[in-house]
Amino acid sequence: MSKLGRLRNCQEIAPGLFLCLLLMLAGIFGAEALGVLLKTTGVLPEDGVNPVSEIFIIILLGILIRNTIGLNSRFVKGVTFSVQMVLKAGIVLLGLRLSLLEALALGAWGIPLIIACISVALGVTLFCTKKLGQSARLGTLIASGTSICGLTAIMATAPVIKAKENEVAYAVANITIFGLTGMLIYPYIIVFFFSDDPVKAGLFLGTAIHDTAQVTGAALIYGDLINSAQVVDVATVTKLIRNLFLIAVIPFVSVLLWKRDKESAVLPKWHQLVPLFIIGFFAMALLRTIGDATATASGEAFGLLAPGTWEQAAVAVSTFGSTYLFGIAMAGIGLSTSFNVFKGLGMKPFAIGFTAAFAVGAVSLVLISVFGDFIAV
């Protein structure tokens, strides 16, 4: 792209990005103001923790704007950039908060749970699709989105199985409504099940909610409720490991569909199924691991920084990602959520999506409640 093209692209992105930044700041100050009001009126004790989540406020403000006054076309490109690129940048920087061994340990504990939830999502969705007489391609799209990573899985699966436009739209509507509902409701529900245990909560959110952005939003809301950042780490790693199952699930569901209608499918290359931001996250975790190791061995991280300075730098960068970049991305999610997408969604596709989402959440909740105490992080 030429310099002129890059400049024009930046100019097109800037308005929407700036709007997301404003919503993020409004959410942060709004949540703080509500907390002060609750304490002033005696609803909360003076030393009580503010129960109002800034992330919840940010998302809610975005949804209200999008579905009342609407989103002018000049903001669309920047809002899309916030959801797609700013969120991924935040996830990559979050890797600096964990060593590679910690990230792999979290992932290893989550794999059995992830496999169980994926299996249930696939089985329930495809079974309901057949029983309700819906298109096998529609069922395959909903199954992929519910079991793996929401919109990303749907968009990766659609060309492989030659899905029609209306089938893709129905699948996207399903993932949007149930993922959004889970993002806004689950953090408050699981407080009653897991109290203030960020590991169990993170595993649940990382397996029960569909899209990566929705998982991140739910984890941030829960983190605000219990004043803990660990739930974001656990939920993020769990979701990223879950995303990697794209490599196995998309070929699997494609073969199942091929056996039904005997249409050939051209599968994408394996590296096209591994999002680059996942590689970036683990690269940052590796960087943190090397920095910690060299600081311990020689007294200077990478031979340049004192251990304390390296620790502060890593925490500052990861905090910037988890606070400000995630905040901008959550504003983008709210502004991207138009209730118009739900129009025309028939009851049968809705029933399939609801049953799959409920089944995955139930299985995750039961397994974590039974086996969660054996997890040591």
pLDDT in tens, 66-82: 999 988 989 999 999 99
Quote the CA–CA distance of 9 and 336 in Å, as a whole number. 20
Q: What is the pLDDT of residues 276-333, one digit of tens each?
A: 788 888 888 889 889 888 988 888 888 888 888 888 898 888 888 878 888 898 899 8
According to the model, what pLDDT value does residue 49 have? 65
Q: Span 53-59, mean pLDDT?
A: 86
Q: Which burial class, exposed, middle or buried, applies to 299 when counting CB atoms under 10 A from its CB (0-12, 13-18, 19+)? A: exposed
According to the model, what pLDDT value does residue 264 have? 45
Q: Is 255 or 86 the better-scoring residue by pLDDT?
A: 86
Name the maximum alpha-carbon separation found in the chain.
Answer: 67
Q: Span 89-107, mean pLDDT?
A: 81
- Which range among 6-15, 159-168, 329-338 has the greatest average pLDDT? 329-338
Nearest to 204 by CA among 243, 238, 174: 238
CB 255 within 8 A of CB 121: no
* Least confident range of 23-27, 206-210, 340-344: 340-344
C-alpha to C-alpha distances, 48 to 30, 32, 38, nearest whole angstrom? 17, 13, 10
According to the model, what pLDDT value does residue 351 have? 87
Percent of the chain with pLDDT over 90: 9
Structure confidence at residue 6 as a pLDDT band (50, 70, 90): low
**pLDDT tops 80 at residue 265:** no
| Residue 99 exposure: Cα atoms within 13 Å on the Cβ side | 11
Q: Span 8-29, mean pLDDT?
A: 89
Cα angle for residues 43, 45, 49 (degrees, 5° grid): 95
Q: What is the pLDDT of residues 293-307, one digit of tens each?
A: 898 888 888 888 888
* Least confident range of 107-116, 121-130, 251-260: 251-260
pLDDT averaged over the chain? 82
Quote the CA–CA distance of 340 and 237 in Å, as a whole number. 32
CB 135 within 8 A of CB 167: yes
Structure confidence at residue 104 as a pLDDT band (50, 70, 90): confident
CB 244 within 8 A of CB 279: no
Helices 212-226 and 326-336, axial angle in degrees (round to 10): 120
**pLDDT tops 70 at residue 271:** no
Q: What is the pLDDT of residues 173-227, one digit of tens each?
A: 888 888 888 888 999 898 888 877 888 999 999 989 988 888 988 898 888 888 7
According to the model, what pLDDT value does residue 26 have? 92
According to the model, what pLDDT value does residue 262 have? 52
